[in-house]
Structures are given as C-alpha cells and as structure tokens.
Chain A
Amino acid sequence: MKKHTEKQPIDDLFARKLGDMSITPGPKSWDELQNRMGREQNPRIVPVWYRYAAAAACLVLVGGIGWKVYQTSESAKPTTAVLANAGNDSNKAGSRKAEAGRIENLTTADTVRQQMAQVATEVPASAPENIGTIQKVKARQQQEKIPVDAPGPSPVTSQTPEEERMVARIPAPTEKLPVAPIEAPKPVVAESLKPGLREEPSERKLVVMINTPVLATSKASEVAGAIGVESVNKPETIEEEGLSKASKLFKKLKRIKNGEALAYKGETGDEEDSGLISRLYGNVRQSLETKKDSKQ
C-alpha cells in the first residue's frame, strides 16, 4: 500500500468524508456474533467457566472433609466417655484392687529378680555349671512366684485378660469424663479401640503405663498406701523411658481412628499429624487470593 502522490479532488473528497465514517450496527448484531462464536469457538469458551467449576469443586471437597471430621469428632467424645463411665460403675472396686495388686506384683517381682541376679553372680563362672544355675534360678523364680502371688487379694490375681483391657481403657479419657454428655454409645468405636490394645498385652509394663495418667495413679496410690506398698512411682519412670516411642505411635493411631488428628493439633506437639485442615485452608485461601489478583 502506498500513498498516491497526486490525488484527484474527487478521491480526496470521498477519502476524507468516508475514511473515518462510523455506522452504528443493529442491536442484535453482537448477539449474532456471540451465537456464531458459540457454534465455532467452543474450545475457547470452555476454560473461562472451567476455572469456576474447579474452584467450586474444591470448595465442596473441603466442606465435605470438614463436615466429616466435625461429625466424627463429635461422635467420638460421648462413646469413650460412656465406656469409661460403664467401666467405672461396674469395675470400680475391682479395678482399684487390681491395680494395687499388679503394682505389688511388679515390685515383688523386681525384688525377686534382683535376688536372682545376686545368686547368679555368687555362683562360680564355668559354662556348663552356669547353664545349670540359670535353670535352677528359673525354677526358683517359679517356686518363689507362687508364694508371692498367694498373699495378694485373690480376685485380683485371677484377672482375665478381658478385665485387664477394660481397666486399661478406663483412665484414658479422664479429662473428658466430667464434660462429655451421656448419649447413645456407639459400639463400633469401642470395637475399633480393642485391637490397638490387644497388640500390647504381652508386655505388662505397657498395661500399667496406660493406667498411670493423673487420676489413675492417684487412685492407685491411695489403694497401694492402704495395703502398704511404697514404690508406686516406679511404673511411671518405666513408662517415660521405655515406652515413649511405642506409646506415641499408639496414641497417634488412636487419634487417627477417632478422626482427631485431622481436626486438632496433636497433644504431643508433633507437626506431622497436625494441621491437615489448616494446610487445606491455607491452600484454598492462597488460590482465592491469586484468583483475586488475576481478576484485578
């Protein structure tokens, strides 16, 4: 395209009058244009609403998770409390005695072991003889155990493992006990709690440890004081040393089962299982902000 050097007057007249002329199109022509674009440019229009759809889906997902967590945490509280209540009502006297008896058992067993160690060191060190002495010591231990168990309260020592489990479960929700309203208990949660506890019973210490939190130890000390056993603090030290890892893991498992881990920060202060919700919330907030920015 080039500008003509000599322009005829008629060309010039029409160029100036018509070159920048404007004619307003009819009101329907934009709609017509959009209709045609809707027919022919579907892929271009899709992404515009696709983003909104994605945002809506995210919101629905987060809302759903939040509701689920809220529901499970609500239902978890009363059932454990009821369980604890039931346990207290039925086994109160028996459980207290049982705790005292077990503590006694432990302490006496420990003294026996110490005696055994002393005996073992006193014996001269030759290999075959050593084996023999160990066997003898074991035999002696068994013999000694019988009289040790005998003086304890008879219903306590003959505890069934089921009773033990009940006892173990009682003190766990001690903090929630006064607050929680008594509503329809859900056996499902109780069942889900069981296997977690069943894994541990081989170690007696673990069972004692679970019993020990504040209220339980105070009860135990009362009973133990009445019977005359002094070393009540010993199980606590064992708990702190030996079982910190296992108990943490167990607590975490339990909390995940209850759905608490999703909702709250772990009481132990662990960062791993905490703040899933807060992280989700953060992500959503961030996406909303970026969306705002892009709109602006």
Chain B
Amino acid sequence: MLRIIPFYPTEAKLVTALKRGEARAQKVVYERYSGKMLAICVRYVANRADAEEVMIDGFMRIYEKIDQFREEGSFEGWMKRVMVTESLMFLRKKKAWRQEIPIEDMGVEPDYHWAETSLESEDLMRLVNQLPDGYRTVFNLYAIEGYSHAEIAEMLKISEGTSKSQLSRARTLLQVGLKKIQEYHYEEAYRKTAN
C-alpha cells in the first residue's frame, strides 16, 4: 500500500496548500503524519480507541487552525503540540491528574542498556499506558516533550510541586515496571538454557 502520495515535495508547499483548504493536501498530511500523531495520543490517553478519537479531533484542529501556523518552527512540531493539547483536553475532562497511588520503592535501578537493546517501543508504551493519568501526563510532558515544571504547572493548572512529585512517582513506577520485565526475561532465558 502506498502510504505517502508524492505530491507537495516540500513542507512549505504542503502548508500553503493546506492554507488554501485543498482536500488533497489534507489527505496527504493525514497519510504522512497520522502514525506519529496517533502514537502521541496513545502515549497520553493510554486507551487506543480514545486515542484515535483524539487524533481525529487533532487533525480537524490542524486543518482549522493552519492559518495560525507561522513558518518559524517545523510543521511537524506544531502538529505534535496540537495533538498534545488535544490529548490534555481529553484528560482534563476526566479530571485525570489528581490521582495518587501508593508506591513501593524497590530501590534498584533497572538495566537501561538491556532495555535499550531488548525492548521494543510497544513494550515501553505499555508501561507508560499503565501509569495513572496524572503521572503519565507529567512524565510525557517533562521527559518526552521537554516542558519544564513551570510550563507543566501552567498547562495543567497544578502547582510546580505537584508536577515534580508526580514526575518522581511516574519515574519510580516505570523503573519498577522495567525491572519486572527484566526479571521475567532473565527467568525465561535461564529456563531455556536449563532445558
């Protein structure tokens, strides 16, 4: 299946066509970027079906607000921000980031080198999706999107302290999750060699 239609060789031409409201350009944008945009939505929303809904809303927002895009940064970066905003709006409706769960700190760091080489993106995504909404949101915004605690506090209407504590908890939970996967893999490998 041909996923990328070879029209609009440059991003600038694509954006110009989008600003004119060309249906073909809208389709091309969807074909090129829907995968990445859906991944962002899944990372925030955690539920695949909800994430697709959010992504569709995000693309509609992109088509509507394309006139607001100034060619200062990259178009893809702008679209990612639109998707993040859309995801946050969805989570805000759920009043998601106020949950707290008790965490038992295992105190042992996972093997990051092993995780890097052995784990797929899908495995890590599953770990992120298992986080409570508030932790996940702050972790996504801080660790992956690169926002500061001040910005996150502003965006989520929470205090910076809350943002920091939620990030810390999110990290701990992820570390625990990585550790569990790691242990499971080691056990499997040991069983195979024993047999």
User: Could you list which residues of chain A lie within 8 angstroms of chain B, going by C-beta atoms?
Assistant: 1-4, 7-26, 29-30, 32-33, 36-37, 40-41, 44-45, 47-48
Docked-complex contact B145 and A1, CB < 8 angstroms: yes
Docked-complex contact A21 and B59, CB < 8 angstroms: no
User: Could you list which residues of chain B lie within 8 angstroms of chain A, going by C-beta atoms?
Assistant: 21, 23, 26-27, 30, 34-36, 38-39, 42-43, 52, 55-56, 59-60, 63-64, 109-110, 112, 115-116, 119, 121, 124-125, 128, 139, 142-148, 151, 171, 174-175, 178
Other than A13-B116, A14-B139, give 14 A-B pairs with Cβ distance below 8 A.
A1-B146, A4-B142, A4-B146, A9-B109, A10-B110, A14-B143, A18-B144, A19-B144, A21-B121, A21-B125, A24-B34, A29-B52, A30-B34, A36-B56
Q: Can you list the 6 inter-chain pairs with the closest CB atoms, starting with the nearest?
A: A22-B35, A11-B143, A21-B39, A23-B38, A23-B39, A21-B121
If A17-B119, A37-B60 touch, does A25 touch B124 (CB 8 Å cutoff)?
no
Main secondary structure of the interface of B (DSSP, over half): helix
Q: Chain A: which residue is nearest B77 at the CB level?
A: A1
A295 to chain B minimum Cβ distance, whole angstroms, is 11
If A2-B148, A15-B144 touch, does A41 touch B42 (CB 8 Å cutoff)?
no
Contact partners of B39 in chain A: CB under 8 A: 18, 21-23
Contact partners of B34 in chain A: CB under 8 A: 24-25, 29-30
Docked-complex contact A33 and B121, CB < 8 angstroms: no
Among A4, A22, A23, A29, find the residue whose CB has the most chain B CB atoms closer than 10 A.
A23
Docked-complex contact B63 and A14, CB < 8 angstroms: no
Give Cα A23 to B56, complex, Å.
14
A246 to chain B minimum Cβ distance, whole angstroms, is 58
Contact partners of A1 in chain B: CB under 8 A: 145-148, 151
A–B pairs, 19, beta carbons within 8 Å: A1-B145, A4-B142, A4-B146, A10-B171, A11-B143, A12-B112, A13-B116, A14-B139, A16-B116, A17-B121, A17-B124, A21-B43, A23-B35, A25-B35, A25-B38, A25-B52, A30-B30, A33-B59, A47-B21
If A25-B55, A29-B55, A30-B30 touch, does A13 touch B142 (CB 8 Å cutoff)?
no
Picked from A14, A18, A32, the residue with its CB within 8 Å of the CB of B56 is A32
Give Cα A12 to B151, complex, Å.
20
Contact partners of B30 in chain A: CB under 8 A: 30, 33
Give Cα A12 to B63, complex, Å.
32
Give Cα A20 to B36, complex, Å.
7
Docked-complex contact A8 and B115, CB < 8 angstroms: no
Docked-complex contact A40 and B56, CB < 8 angstroms: no
Contact partners of A30 in chain B: CB under 8 A: 27, 30, 34
Contact partners of A23 in chain B: CB under 8 A: 35, 38-39, 42
Docked-complex contact B21 and A44, CB < 8 angstroms: yes
Picked from A8, A14, A20, A44, the residue with its CB within 8 Å of the CB of B128 is A14
Contact partners of A22 in chain B: CB under 8 A: 35-36, 38-39
B83 to chain A minimum Cβ distance, whole angstroms, is 12
B116 to chain A minimum Cβ distance, whole angstroms, is 6
A80 to chain B minimum Cβ distance, whole angstroms, is 56
